[in-house]
């Protein structure tokens, strides 16, 4: 059970210190400088600030938490109750375990409830705000204010220097620096690959970044399916050993919808994606349908079970025009097998412009899983999407941002 404590209102001296377009010319000494005022950076700053650390957060965007604001269709799917390490992709599948176990979905939910933000569970453990994602950003900024954190938005990071055990960013300096600038997905929101460039400059390895949770594009034979733009159906999408049972959506460029976004994180160029249409049908269902209604054509059977346009395209491809009773069992078995694993060969994805996250990133081998500190550069940390940990669709990526931000916030 959750213990919900009332959160006293902020004192006048604790209103959020947000500076815009700060020039930072006077020397300023902090305990930690956090680059990026997104989900992970704000959580880290709030935790460290409330531990008494003097914290500066710098972001080039005009406002903090812009991806939070557009997330979950404006309602922010802020966590998932089913959060478990196997719902994350990483070169080291064990890396995320420590942080995820020390800051759980229930911890974040307790924070949300302390701020009296109404929420609901949508499906599959996904928690959303009833109102607006803006409440989550306001909550994080309020927590930062309680820790006396300075947030500098609209501020260019410029050169980052490291000497005598201190990091210097403009006129600010600190013994701890946290890379929290996320990944390059959705560049029009101000997303950049800055985290990777900076990490490489400090000698940290970066696992090749790639767009993830992204629509896939179809060409060649498969392009005919693009005529189904707007049609969706419940399917199982498979790629390698990964499988997701959710909706797939045909688009004018290819495939999207939750099942495809999920599988896209596992897909690599040249690999097929197999789609099971009618995944709930028992093996032998077409032969059984033949026995029950031999006068029915396959087209009608499929139209009864799938959106009409999709049923027609599949039926045309299966090339079975006659009644089931006139169709040999082996052809029905072959049709059933094809419907259970319809092979698509995507020729690409819609790229960073449409990717909800970036997979890959700063190599986990470079970091402590407990503190997110770089093993070889004392004081340097990396958190959130910048790190090679990528969650499934459904609130997992924010949970990683909160958990990794919390872990680093305890340390800096
Ligand atoms: C459309 C969309 C919807 C999403 N919905 C959900 C959802 O509902 N649930 C979920 O769990 N996840 C969702 N995500 C993913 C989630 O938003 C990210 O995984 C999460 O925001 C990562 O947090 P972060 O702090 O690491 O990075 P970010 O939140 O991206 O923050 C990085 C910050 O760094 C700043 N920055 C970047 N480069 C620079 C630079 N060069 N100089 C200065 N500042 C810089 C950016 O302005 C940004 O404020 C969604 C993503 C998108 C794009």
Nearest CA to ligand 1 atom 30: 182
Token pair listed for 274: 């197999």
pLDDT in tens, 180-224: 999 999 999 889 999 999 999 999 999 999 999 999 999 988 888
Looking at per-residue confidence, does 110 or 220 come out higher? 110
Work out the pLDDT band at 1, boundaries 50, 70, 90. very low
Mean pLDDT of 235-248: 97
Tell me the pTM.
Answer: 0.94
How many Cβ atoms sit within 10 Å of the Cβ of residue 120? Answer: 10
Distance 39 CA to ligand 1 centre (A): 7
Q: What are phi and psi of 230, to 5 degrees?
A: 100, -15
pLDDT > 80? residue 24: no
Nearest CA to ligand 1 atom 48: 38
Mean pLDDT of 54-80: 97
Please list every protein residue whose CB sits less than 6 Å from any atom of ligand 1: 36-41, 59-61, 66-67, 70-72, 76-77, 157, 180-182, 185-186, 190-192, 194, 356-357, 384-386, 395-398, 401
pLDDT > 80? residue 21: no
Mean pLDDT of 32-41: 98
How many Cβ atoms sit within 10 Å of the Cβ of residue 178? Answer: 34
Instruction: Give the per-residue SS3 of the chain.
Output: CCCCCCCCCCCHHHCCEEEECCCCCCCEECCEEEECCCHHHHHHHHHHHHCCCCEEEECCCCCCCHHHHHHHHHCCEEEECCCCHHHEECCCCCCCHHHHHHCCHHHHHHHHHHCCCCEEECCCCEEEECCCCHHHHHHHHHHHHHCCCEEEECCCCCCEEEECCEEEECCEEECEEEECCCCCCCHHHCCCCHHHHHHHHCCCCEEEEEEECCCEECCHHHHHHHHHCCCEEEEEEEECCEEEEEEEEECCCEEECHHHHHHHCCCCCCCCEEEEECCCCCCCHHHHHHHHCCCCEHHHHHHHHCCHHHHHHHHHHHCCCCEHHHCCHHHHHHHHHHHHCEEECCCEECCCCCCCEEEEEECHHHECCCCCEECCCCCEEECHHHECCEECCCCHHHHHHHHHHHHHHHHC
Distance 163 CA to ligand 1 centre (A): 30
pLDDT in tens, 372-393: 999 999 999 999 999 999 999 9
Q: Using CA atoms, how far apart are residues 67 and 55, in angstroms rounded to an integer? A: 22
β-bridge partners, 58: 35, 152
Whole-number pLDDT of residue 225: 85
Q: Using CA atoms, how far apart are residues 237 and 254, in angstroms rounded to an integer? A: 14
Please give the number of the atom of ligand 1 that sits closest to the Cα of 42: 25
Residue 371, C-beta contacts closer than 8 angstroms, at least 6 positions apart: 381, 407, 408, 410, 411
Residues 115, 135 contacting (CB under 8 angstroms)? yes
CA distances from 190 to 111, 181, 187, 353 (A): 27, 10, 5, 11
pLDDT > 50? residue 144: yes
pLDDT > 60? residue 13: no
Place of tokens 């449409």: 354
Distance 147 CA to ligand 1 centre (A): 22
Mean pLDDT of 41-69: 97
Whole-number pLDDT of residue 221: 84
Whole-number pLDDT of residue 2: 27
Nearest CA to ligand 1 atom 53: 356
Residue 270, C-beta contacts closer than 8 angstroms, at least 6 positions apart: none
Mean pLDDT of the residues in the chain: 93
Nearest CA to ligand 1 atom 41: 194
Whole-number pLDDT of residue 130: 98
Whole-number pLDDT of residue 12: 46
Q: Which of 45, 57, 71, 262 gets mutated to test ligand 1 (max ligand atoms within 8 A of its CB)? A: 71
């Amino acid at each position: 059970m959750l213990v919900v404590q009332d959160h006293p209102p902020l004192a006048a001296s604790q209103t959020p210190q947000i500076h815009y377009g700060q020039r930072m010319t006077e020397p300023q000494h902090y305990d930690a400088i956090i680059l990026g005022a997104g989900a992970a950076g704000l959580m880290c700053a709030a935790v460290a600030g409330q531990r008494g650390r003097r914290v500066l957060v710098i972001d080039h965007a005009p406002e903090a938490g812009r991806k939070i604001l557009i997330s979950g269709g404006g309602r922010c799917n802020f966590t998932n109750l089913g959060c478990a390490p196997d719902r994350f992709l990483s070169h080291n599948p064990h890396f995320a375990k420590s942080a995820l176990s020390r800051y759980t979905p229930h911890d974040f939910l307790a924070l949300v409830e302390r701020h009296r933000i109404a929420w609901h569970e949508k499906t599959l453990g996904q928690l959303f705000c009833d109102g607006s994602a803006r409440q989550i950003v306001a909550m994080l900024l309020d927590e930062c204010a309680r820790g006396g954190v300075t947030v500098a938005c609209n501020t260019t990071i410029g050169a980052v220097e490291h000497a005598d055990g201190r990091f210097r960013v403009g006129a600010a300096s600190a013994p701890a620096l946290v890379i929290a600038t996320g990944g390059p997905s959705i560049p029009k929101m101000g997303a950049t690959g800055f985290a990777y460039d900076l990490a490489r400059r400090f000698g940290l390895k970066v696992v090749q970044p790639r767009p993830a949770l992204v629509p896939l594009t179809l060409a060649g034979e498969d392009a005919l399916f693009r005529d189904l733009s707007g049609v969706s159906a419940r399917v199982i999408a498979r790629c390698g050993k990964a499988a997701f049972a959710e909706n797939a959506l045909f688009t004018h460029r290819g495939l999207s919808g939750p099942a495809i976004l999920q599988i896209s994180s596992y897909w690599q160029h040249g690999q097929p994606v197999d789609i099971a249409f009618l995944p709930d049908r028992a093996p032998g269902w077409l032969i059984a349908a033949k026995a029950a209604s031999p006068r029915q054509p396959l087209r009608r059977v499929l139209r009864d079970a799938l959106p009409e346009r999709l049923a027609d395209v599949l039926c045309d491809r299966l090339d079975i025009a006659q009644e089931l009773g006139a169709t040999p069992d082996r052809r029905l078995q072959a049709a059933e097998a094809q419907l259970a694993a319809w092979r698509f060969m995507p020729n690409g994805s819609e790229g960073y412009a449409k990717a909800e996250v970036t997979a890959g990133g700063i190599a986990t081998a470079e970091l402590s899983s407990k503190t997110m500190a770089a093993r070889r550069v004392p004081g340097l940390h990396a958190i959130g999407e910048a790190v090679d940990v990528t969650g499934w669709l459904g609130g997992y990526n924010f949970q990683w941002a909160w958990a990794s931000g919390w872990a680093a916030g305890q340390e800096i």
